[in-house]
Amino acid sequence: MVSEERRQEVLKSLSEGVVEYREDQVKDSANAALEEGMDAYDAIMNGLAAGMEIVGDLYDRQEYFVPEILMCADALYAGLDILKPHLKTASDSGARGQVVIGTVQGDVHDIGKNLIKMMFDVGGFTVHDLGRDVPLEKFAEEQLRTDAEIVALSAMMTTTMMGMKKVIHMIKEKNPDVAIMLGGAPVTRDVAKLFGADGYAESAGNAVQEAIKMIGQLRKLDQAGMPAK
Q: What is the pLDDT of residues 41-79, one digit of tens each?
A: 889 888 998 888 788 778 778 898 878 988 998 999 899
| Domains of the chain as residue ranges with CATH | 4-86 (1.10.1240.10), 91-224 (3.40.50.280)
Q: What is d(CA 135, CA 139) in angstroms, rounded to the nearest whole number?
A: 8
* β-sheet bridge partners, residue 128: 100
pLDDT value at residue 218: 64
Q: Are 157 and 108 in contact (CB under 8 A)?
A: no
**pTM strictly above 0.75:** no
pLDDT at 141: 96
Strands (DSSP E) contained in the chain are 98-103, 126-129, 150-154, 179-183, 199-201
**Which residue, 43, 164, 191, is CA-closest to 104?**
164
Amino acid identity of residue 130, one-letter, is L
The pLDDT of residue 150? 93
CA distance 111 to 82: 25
- Kindly give the parts of the chain with pLDDT less than 70: 88-95, 204-205, 208-209, 212, 215-229
| Residue type (1 letter), 75 | A
Neighbours of 150 (CB within 10 A): 26
Position 39 scores a pLDDT of 92
Question: pLDDT at position 226, please?
Answer: 42
Q: How far is CA 191 from CA 18, 135, 162, 172, 200, in A?
A: 32, 21, 10, 17, 9
